[in-house]
């Protein structure tokens, strides 16, 4: 992953390699400006030549892939990859709880007439859980523009056609011709079933679209009746019913046993997925134009691409499937270089709570938080480094801190929480900014680690 570089006046310059950044830090030519994403600031330079940098987005319901790429005559070179995890589900749950508390106060404690017709919503209003997705992506676009000389934007303008998903034969010629035919529905099914056979759980094998209830038995083309199956399961099932296939097919039982799966568990999952709503697809649909309008207001040129084109590019270039690498494949991509870089995972955590009282599910107090948000110079959410010299927790721990008034802190890292670390051993790496960071190893490094093991 490249290192972002700022000049003496904090103007963005072209990112450099990690080795070059380390040499400049050792020679005193630069100082660390930011840890996540890692950025250095030069002490002896103002201004410099820059090249074209594109910031690409692959918006999703739960996570958004972000890629910073450099364009050249040889193709596009990946400089940095990010995976931004949203917290829309937590926001929705908090609003549901608040609504329940309000209903209780109104009806149980004292009567208060409901107010619901005296509030008007502006044009383009989105629910808070959806608006959070748009705001978080815009916030990181702004941050990365301050760290790098971004000259253009690219967005995967995903459109999950609900009518097309319910009946894949209903649409026009755009789904019936060309090399991208059927990619949208197939991509949705792959994501829905976790890119494994719906019946036997086999992975890393070609998967085919399968009707759960066969057409000869009255099954439809609705997406709820479609599944992804391996070739063996697809051929063995034929026009059998789901119950007959799971109870009688010996080949299926052999494959399930090889994958250490239960036939009853897989059968129940297929039944459950048939009733699964299109909630995630609806969330992406509701926010796609709001995000596009906000990107257009930045003043930078915005390239629009479809999910089908992204998948087509990824397959043509032989790039693995991740949120961040999907973002790198958005738009017109003839060649992609240097994509084997680590991904910085960024999870939205919020900036704390104004509510100092913890409540039960019925709305009664169960505990109280500290009146102050700081203890011993630290605040929950700060990225710290703790060097513990002795004891059971001896070693170096880096992660997000959760404070206590006593000075005994918890540190959350990628392996879990380390509890009971004294504040005396902690030092600040970066003040809390509402996000938790974790650096994922690249696909190439993961493969090397598996082979070494």
Q: Model confidence over 394-426: pLDDT tens digits?
A: 999 999 999 998 999 999 988 889 999 999 999
Identify the H or E element spanning 369.
none
pLDDT winner (highest mean) among 78-92, 112-126, 243-257: 78-92
> Is residue 32 classed as helix, strand or coil in its secondary structure?
strand
Alpha-carbon span 229 to 207, nearest angstrom: 5
**Domain membership flag for residue 437:** no
Alpha-carbon span 221 to 205, nearest angstrom: 24
Q: Are residues 418 and 373 in the same domain?
A: yes
Residue 183 has what pLDDT? Answer: 56
Q: Are residues 152 and 238 in the same domain?
A: no
Alpha-carbon span 349 to 441, nearest angstrom: 22
Q: Are residues 82 and 60 in the same domain?
A: yes
Q: Are residues 11 and 77 in the same domain?
A: no
Q: Are residues 198 and 234 in the same domain?
A: yes
Q: Are residues 156 and 249 in the same domain?
A: no
Q: Which residues contact 14 (CB under 8 A, 6 or more apart)?
A: 5, 48, 49, 50, 51, 53, 148, 149
pLDDT digits (tens, 9 = 90+) for 283-315: 787 888 889 999 999 999 999 988 888 888 998
Residue 424 has what pLDDT? Answer: 94
Residue 145 has what pLDDT? Answer: 94
Q: Are residues 249 and 272 in the same domain?
A: yes
Q: Say how many domains are in the chain.
A: 4
Q: Are residues 68 and 156 in the same domain?
A: yes
Whether the per-residue pLDDT at 5 is higher than 90: the answer is: yes
pLDDT digits (tens, 9 = 90+) for 9-63: 999 999 999 999 999 999 999 999 999 999 999 998 998 888 989 999 999 888 9
Q: Are residues 254 and 230 in the same domain?
A: yes
**Domain membership flag for residue 439:** no
Q: Are residues 268 and 202 in the same domain?
A: yes
Q: Report how far Cα 217 is from the mean position of its chain's Cα atoms.
A: 39
**Domain membership flag for residue 438:** no
Residue 58 has what pLDDT? Answer: 92
Domain CATH number, residue 409: 2.30.30
User: Domain boundary at 277, 309, 340, which?
Assistant: 277
Residue 148 has what pLDDT? Answer: 93
Instruction: Render the burial of 83-102: b for 16+ CB within 10 Å, e for the rest.
Output: bbbbbbeebeebeeeeeeee
**Domain membership flag for residue 266:** yes
Residue 453 banded pLDDT, cuts 50, 70, 90? very low
Q: Are residues 156 and 175 in the same domain?
A: no
Whether the per-residue pLDDT at 96 is higher than 90: the answer is: no
Q: Report how far Cα 377 is from the mean position of its chain's Cα atoms.
A: 32
Q: pLDDT averaged over the chain?
A: 84
Whether the per-residue pLDDT at 169 is higher than 90: the answer is: no
**Domain membership flag for residue 406:** yes
Domain CATH number, residue 215: 3.30.40
Whether the per-residue pLDDT at 162 is higher than 60: the answer is: no
**Domain membership flag for residue 368:** yes
Alpha-carbon span 223 to 216, nearest angstrom: 17
**Domain membership flag for residue 316:** yes
**Domain membership flag for residue 452:** no
Q: Are residues 34 and 59 in the same domain?
A: no
> Which residues span the domain enclosing 362?
357-432
User: Domain boundary at 319, 348, 377, which?
Assistant: 348
Model confidence, pTM: 0.75
Alpha-carbon span 226 to 214, nearest angstrom: 10
Residue 354 has what pLDDT? Answer: 79
């Amino acid at each position: 992953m490249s290192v972002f570089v700022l000049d003496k006046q904090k103007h963005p310059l072209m990112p450099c390699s990690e080795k070059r950044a380390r040499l400049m830090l050792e020679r005193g030519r630069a100082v660390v400006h930011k840890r996540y994403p890692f950025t250095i600031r030069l002490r002896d330079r103002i201004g410099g030549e820059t090249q074209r940098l594109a910031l690409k987005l692959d918006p999703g319901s739960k996570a958004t892939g972000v890629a910073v790429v450099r364009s050249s005559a040889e193709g596009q070179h990946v400089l940095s990859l990010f995976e931004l995890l949203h917290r829309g589900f937590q926001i929705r749950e908090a609003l549901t709880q608040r609504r329940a508390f309000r209903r209780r106060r109104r009806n149980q404690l004292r009567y208060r007439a409901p107010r619901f017709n005296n509030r008007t919503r502006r044009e383009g209003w989105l629910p808070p859980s959806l608006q959070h997705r748009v705001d978080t992506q815009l916030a990181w676009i702004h941050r990365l523009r301050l760290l790098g000389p971004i000259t253009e934007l690219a967005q995967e303008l995903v459109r999950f056609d609900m009518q097309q998903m319910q009946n894949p034969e209903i649409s026009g010629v755009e789904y019936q011709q060309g090399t991208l035919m059927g990619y949208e529905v197939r991509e949705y099914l792959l994501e829905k079933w976790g890119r494994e056979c719906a019946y036997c759980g086999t992975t890393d094998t070609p998967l085919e679209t399968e009707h759960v209830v066969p057409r000869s038995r009255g099954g439809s083309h609705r997406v709820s009746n479609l599944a992804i199956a391996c070739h063996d399961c697809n051929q063995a099932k034929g026009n059998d019913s789901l119950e007959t296939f799971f109870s009688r097919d010996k080949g299926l039982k052999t494959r399930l046993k090889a994958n250490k799966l239960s036939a009853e568990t897989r059968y129940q999952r297929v039944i459950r997925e048939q009733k699964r709503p299109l909630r995630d697809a609806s969330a992406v649909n509701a926010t796609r134009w709001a995000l596009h309008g906000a990107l257009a207001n930045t003043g930078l040129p915005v390239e629009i691409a479809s999910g089908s084109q992204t998948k087509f590019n990824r397959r043509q270039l032989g790039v693995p499937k991740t949120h961040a690498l999907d973002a790198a494949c958005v738009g017109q991509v003839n060649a992609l270089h240097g994509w084997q870089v680590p991904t910085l995972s960024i999870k939205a955590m919020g900036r704390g709570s104004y509510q100092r009282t913890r409540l039960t599910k019925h709305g009664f107090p169960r505990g109280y938080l500290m009146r102050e948000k700081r203890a011993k110079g630290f605040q929950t959410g700060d990225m710290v480094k703790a060097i513990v010299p002795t004891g059971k927790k001896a070693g170096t721990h880096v992660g997000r801190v959760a404070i206590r008034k006593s000075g005994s802190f918890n540190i959350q890292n990628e392996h879990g929480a380390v509890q009971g670390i004294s504040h005396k051993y902690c030092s600040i790496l970066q003040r809390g900014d509402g996000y938790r960071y974790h650096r994922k190893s690249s696909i190439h490094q993961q493969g090397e680690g598996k082979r070494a093991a």
